[in-house]
Amino acid sequence: MRVVLQRVSRGKVSIAGQPVAAIGRGLMILLGISPSDSEEQAQYLVEKIANLRIFEDEQGKMNRSLLDVGGEAIVVSQFTLYADTRKGRRPSFTDAALPEIARPLVDRFSRLLSEQGVPTQTGEFGANMLVEINNDGPVTIWMER
């Protein structure tokens, strides 16, 4: 399971010009699933993300978590996080899970994050989405489990 976290001042996901998710301060979470991923990995990453201290305190230090600041999250499934670019000029995505494996784990990941107390929205699995990210900082963190 691979995750790219982007701390945002605001984020939005639209499909065919229609907004499907929008948040203020929080995290845009780009989530890639591999065939060997499990709920255990999702649980670990969700707990880590909800409590990761990447928001600034009064002194300007990254000392507060998403939960501490009352932030929101948008989870966007992104199989391209498993792109293999070692050969040729066109990436291979054979390391990404097939939709029947990935979709349930993406949904479970989102529910687990919500259960942690983070208001969570999602993109639409498999859709061509326009993802607007107002990266705050910029703070971008890559995680894998």
Read off the pTM: 0.95
Q: How far is CA 91 from CA 83, 103, 133, in A?
A: 6, 22, 24
Cα–Cα nearest to 110, from 99, 120, 119:
120
Annotated catalytic residue, options 79, 109, 120, 121: 79
Active-site residue 80, yes or no? yes
Token pair, residue 13, equals: 């996901």
pLDDT of residue 3: 98
Domain boundaries, the chain: 2-144
pLDDT of residue 49: 98
Q: Scan for tokens 């929008």, then name that residue.
A: 22
pLDDT of residue 73: 98
User: Domain 2-144 sits in which CATH superfamily?
Assistant: D-tyrosyl-tRNA(Tyr) deacylase (3.50.80.10)
pLDDT of residue 136: 97
Annotated catalytic residue, options 6, 18, 59, 80: 80
Helix axes 99-115, 39-51, angle to 10 degrees: 40
Return averaged pLDDT per consecutive 10 residues of the chain, 145 residues in all: 98 98 98 97 98 97 98 98 96 97 98 98 96 97 96
Active-site residue 41, yes or no? no
| 82 residue type, one letter | Y
pLDDT of residue 89: 95
Report the C-alpha gap between 24 and 22 in whole angstroms: 7
CB–CB of 77/102 below 8 Å? Answer: yes
